[in-house]
Amino acid sequence: MTSLEELKAKVAAQKTRIPSLYGKVDFSITPERFADQPGDESSLRGAAAIAYRQKFLAEHETVERARAYTMLGDTVADAYAALMPQYGFKRLIGMLTQACDLGVETVADAPAELVAFIHAMETVPQWLNMDLVREGARASRNGAANLSPFVARGAFVATFMNKYSALPMALTGTLSHESAVRRIKETATFFSTTALPGALDRHGSGFKAAAMVRLMHSMVRFNILRASSKWDVSVYGIPVPQVDQMPAGTISVFLLAFKMMRQGRTNFTAEERAVVEFNRYRCYLLGLPEELLPDTPQGIYNAMMVYSGTLRAGYDNETCGALVRATMAAYFPADRSLKSRIFNRLEKSFAKVFFHRAFLSGDDGSKAQQMGVVLRPVDKLVFVALSLFVFSRLGLYALAMQLPGLAAVTDRILIAKLNRQLAGYGHAEYTTDSSKYKEARAA
């Protein structure tokens, strides 16, 4: 594990390493978003979680590490994105695409920043078990094919519950239904793609998708820090810090770990452990460090609690509410056939209830009312009916995957389903153009 001193030095070095991006950032400050005092209202809810927060706030190193990660971007991808004034964003994307597909050595006059970016992703750390990663991808295909289409919208909405972490999405123009659809499909495409066989190998489609997501996030940081008058570092810190990507990247294993702890289980099964390792590698390719990717139920729980317990509570209807409403109103299917329209209506109801249960437990309804995600009786009925269908199908596929005579055939069926899903999502661009940002349009 990186020492606290090394971590702080890495944060501070961003200013001199990438001056065009971070030259004006004061890394000695603690932004408003970081809640480290016992009386601060954090994103944690519930008596048990708040009691846990009081405990870890007394641990100096835990708090200081969380403070440092709040101000840490993606150093290798940021350095490459900072070349935009010189190369233009389309050329940066083109060079990265070629480097992923054919190797960085095939890129004529490849900038050193691109070489460093690719080499960082190619290096597999010793703390990862690639055999487990491959088994975890196989075990994840069932959920990716049969459950993800119903929960993707609800999980995506969960990332908009806090104004400090949601503002970058608002500034990049995601408040429109069209933009929301594109972002949901890009996110769903990434997670579905990475579950395919060999997708996370060096020349796999998942490896390439991870590189494109990293560049997109770095472009967001570059454009916001360079041009946005709405972004105040003393309030929000840096845009899309690495720690903000942890919840989305590890949400499935966090929910698993949280469920296990309520049941009194302390160890993963062999299959669960493989799924955890698969998620760790996927997040590693997105630039997250080992410390944010623990491999035990307690470690996963602790990491999420520290993140949520140091993220100041904040809801802004213009930011959070607009993002949630645009996402919930978006039409997701690729066509307007009767089947697709029915699926869209049912999926919305399912997503709303899933969102409430997973992310608004204990809420008295006020936050849901503010966000515009109010449950109707029909939503609950749809959720119950679809749950019976979806989870029964998940169980049948899981059983078939355990039977020697059916496992290989079932896996091929799941792969085919994932490929059909990806075809429906369309081509994911993973780009961000500053001319399309909310501020740019307003100007």
pLDDT tens, position by position, 399-432: 999 999 899 999 999 999 999 999 988 876 665 5
Collapsed DSSP state (helix, strand, coil) of residue 311: strand
3-class SS of residue 428? coil
Which of 430, 439, 435 is closest to 186 using CA atoms?
Answer: 430
Helix (H) / strand (E) containing 281 = helix 270-285
Summarised one tens digit per residue, pLDDT across range 381-402 is 999 999 999 999 999 999 999 9
Between the two ends of the chain, the Cα-to-Cα distance in Å is 46
Q: For residue 252, which amino acid is it?
A: S
In which residue are the tokens 């049969």 written? 146
Please tell me the number of Cα atoms within 13 Å of 442 on its side-chain side: 10
Spatial CB neighbours of 234, under 8 Å, sequence gap ≥ 6 = 26, 29, 31, 32
pLDDT score, position 37? 95
Cα–Cα dist 27/315, whole Å = 25
Number of Cβ within 10 Å of residue 2's Cβ equals 14
- The mean pLDDT value of the chain amounts to 90
Instruction: Identify the weakest region by mean pLDDT among 110-124, 251-265, 316-330.
Output: 316-330
Distance CA 242, CA 237 (A): 12
pLDDT at 229 over 80: no
Distances (CA, A) of 17 to 117, 180, 225, 252: 14, 34, 16, 35
Write the CA distances from 157 to 325, 326, 353, 355, integer angstroms: 9, 10, 12, 8
- Closest by alpha carbon to 328, among 345, 304, 303? 345
The secondary structure of residue 105, as a DSSP letter, is G
373 or 435, which is more confident: 373
| Residue 424, phi then psi, degrees to nearest 5 | -70, -35
Phi, psi of 242, rounded to the nearest 5 degrees: -55, -35
Rounded CA separation 107/112 (Å): 11
Confidence of residue 267 (pLDDT cuts 50, 70, 90): very high
Residue ranges with strand state E in 105-263: none
Is residue 354 predicted with pLDDT exceeding 90? no
- Amino acid residing at 340: S
CA distances 124 to 119, 127, 275, 356, Å, are 10, 8, 17, 37
Q: Are 208 and 100 in contact (CB under 8 A)?
A: yes
Encode burial over 389-427: b for 16+ CB neighbours within 10 A, e otherwise: ebeeeeeebeebbeeeeeeeebbeebbebbeebbebbee
Phi/psi at 124 (nearest 5 deg)? -90, 120
154/373 Cα distance (integer angstroms): 10
pLDDT over 70 (residue 137) = yes
Neighbours of 126 (CB within 10 A): 6
Stretch among 53-57, 161-165, 344-348, 382-386 having the lowest mean pLDDT: 161-165
pLDDT at 93 over 90: yes
Q: Is the pTM of this model over 0.85?
A: yes
Q: Phi first, then psi: what are they for 414, rounded to 5°?
A: -65, -40
By the 8 A CB rule, do 126 and 137 touch? no
Sorting pLDDT into bands at 50, 70 and 90, what band is 204? very high
**441 band by pLDDT with thresholds 50, 70 and 90:** very low
Decide: helix, strand or coil at residue 42: strand
Question: 42 - beta bridge partners?
Answer: 312
Q: How far apart are CA 11 and CA 86, in angstroms?
A: 25
Question: CB under 8 Å to 294, separation ≥6 — which residues?
Answer: 300, 302, 303
Report yes or no: 328 and 373 within 8 Å, Cβ to Cβ: yes
Confidence of residue 433 (pLDDT cuts 50, 70, 90): low
